[in-house]
Structure 1
């Protein structure tokens, strides 16, 4: 019973407490409604702000990522463009190098051709000079223009190239490029604008142009030398023909072979010239027959007795032809010419030949007779002394005797005569020919 009462009391107490709590709960909820709403609003605002911040932060991050990605793409594009520029510049440098090497090869070939032509010009000039025919100094001297040497490097756009047949390994361009203005600080101060440096490619192009122009000038000089030689040969040919015309000899019948110089020889390797190849070849080709003609005429002249037998001016005391004989005073044929001179004056051979007579010969007195080419002979009479012997070969200008008055003579003088195939001929014809060639023999 007691326990039942205790449970009833406890139950009543709980109901009382529950009622009390219900009344209090209702009162707290109204009081705190506004606070709860405020907290709810704040929480909502905070949540919204947080959400907005998070969303905003994600948008900024996305923008930053997008911007950095764009920059990266732009940087990569720029690197690709720079690489393309480098490749293009490298390709252009290689093309410039190939172009420079091609130009250098062409100039080297032209230089070799120029030197070959100069050797021909020198050969012609030396042959004419050895024959006593004057040539210009330009034709005698070899080329002195500076040409490209095989070992000379040629730089184009910073790339080193070498001329054909270069020896050795090419040296690379320096890895460290000079700083701008580094070379200018060491130079003294100057007023005015600073001259911009010339690019290497332009310098190479200008150097090649100068070499090209130098070769052109040298080629023109060679052609001018050949034309001057041609003119000299023409003048010499006219002079020789005019001199031979004075002798009244048939040059075709004489046909004296040109003596070959001593101590030379070798296999015959003729030079074939194509006259249609250019003006140089055409001029040199036209020179060949004229050179042969001049050499033949000069050989004829050199074999003839056209020099003077006495030194200095000749003093004629009696000419060739009919005259009054100095002893009989009657008409007589004078087969030579008398040249007055001092007793003992030297007498020299007027041309090359062979002594056929060297003795006392009647009215000639002491006489020397020399046989020349083409059936021509010369006689030197009334000598006081004979200085050569029979059979002796003499050259033009050889001392053969001295002036005297032996034989049929009235005083010291030289009786000089020329004969063609044994018949007397006027010596003046030959002496006049020699006067026309004075200084050329």
Structure 2
């Protein structure tokens, strides 16, 4: 007896057993479907060409493709040519920038020397940019854009302008100060000798001109600035040699001036050949300018006296001294202590009698001292 499957018995003999789809058949059908889709897409994209092929127009299609390839090749060649031209322009620009940077570095070195020289003479120049601040040229050689090249060129041009401004500032300041010094000293009858002729010497063998060998304008500018500094130094040295500086320091007061006055001993009008500075006995007396001590001793009416001979035939005289701090033949600078305040000779009390003389004629020392104050203010 057979039992139903629902009751766990044997299945009826009339029910057949089902079998699954074979794998080979399944994959074959899938591949066929995929190829059909691919062919359909290809036919959609290239339907015109395929139609022509099917219409036995293969030769015309091939010719058309060859024409398109030829046109594309021409276009590529044209783009390559443009790229090469642009690359050539960029390389040329980079080469020019490299040359400008070298000029900038050279210019910076020249200006640095001039700034140091000006600083030694007390001239503060405009702020000098650092040459290391210039953009590097080498990394830009790999850049494909011109914006960076233009920015670099602008930065280099700006820095070159700044260094040029620094040189111009130094030259103008030196020239202006030289002019003021000459004006002040000329008003005192002091001739200032400037090394103009010494800077004009040129020479060399006569040779044929060579293309591209012109002298650098930058060198000419630097030489002009240096010439201005040399002239200024000469003018500044003239200040040091002139007796225009205060011959005493510390606590003092001007007790008498140059010219006619009431004589303290006779009570009558008399000429006073110098300026008196009242101070305590022993106060240091300073040389009013660089020169050579030409007299140390006693003079009638002056008591103890020291005289210093300066350039331009000027002599400064210091009287009524209590002691000497210098000797004949000694070279002294501006501000060198040469004696001490006293009350020797024709004097009513301790003070310094200061004179400036030329050709043994007394000159008003007030004009010299006031010029000295103005020049000291000018030079800082």
How much does 1:278 deviate?
A: 11
Distance 1:395 1:306 in 2: 12
How much does 1:250 deviate?
A: 4.8
Unaligned runs of 5+ in 1: 1-59, 157-200, 261-267, 271-275
- Equivalent residue, structure 2, for 1:152: 139
Distance 2:167 2:194 in 1: 28
How much does 1:208 deviate?
A: 1.0
Distance 1:313 1:237 in 2: 33
TM-score, structure 1 normalization: 0.60
Residue 103 (structure 2) pairs with residue 137 (structure 1): no
Distance 1:435 1:362 in 2: 32
Match of 1:236 among 170, 177, 195: 177
Distance 2:266 2:65 in 1: 130
Secondary structure in 1 matching 2:328: coil
Distance 2:103 2:129 in 1: 17
- Equivalent residue, structure 2, for 1:103: 93
How much does 1:63 deviate?
A: 4.4
- Equivalent residue, structure 2, for 1:92: 82
Distance 1:269 1:302 in 2: 35
Secondary structure in 2 matching 1:438: helix
Larger C-alpha radius of gyration, 1 or 2? 1
Contact 1:246 1:430 (8 Å CA) reproduced: no
1:255-310 CA distances to partner (integer Å, 9 max, x unpaired)? 3779x9xxxxxxx999xxxxx99998997787687656544433322321111112
Distance 2:307 2:174 in 1: 35
Contact 2:247 2:286 (8 Å CA) reproduced: yes
Unaligned runs of 5+ in 2: 1-49, 205-213
1:138-189 CA distances to partner (integer Å, 9 max, x unpaired)? 3x5554541434x435125xxxxxxxxxxxxxxxxxxxxxxxxxxxxxxxxx
- Equivalent residue, structure 2, for 1:371: 309
TM-score, structure 2 normalization: 0.69
Contact 2:194 2:231 (8 Å CA) reproduced: no
How much does 1:320 deviate?
A: 1.6
- Equivalent residue, structure 2, for 1:306: 244
Contact 1:344 1:384 (8 Å CA) reproduced: yes
Distance 2:260 2:363 in 1: 13
Match of 1:410 among 339, 343, 348: 348
Contact 1:257 1:299 (8 Å CA) reproduced: no
Contact 1:122 1:141 (8 Å CA) reproduced: no
Distance 2:66 2:226 in 1: 74
Distance 2:71 2:97 in 1: 38
- Equivalent residue, structure 1, for 2:362: 424
Root-mean-square deviation (CA, aligned residues, Å) is 3.9
Contact 1:350 1:396 (8 Å CA) reproduced: yes
Distance 2:52 2:270 in 1: 142
- Equivalent residue, structure 2, for 1:348: 286
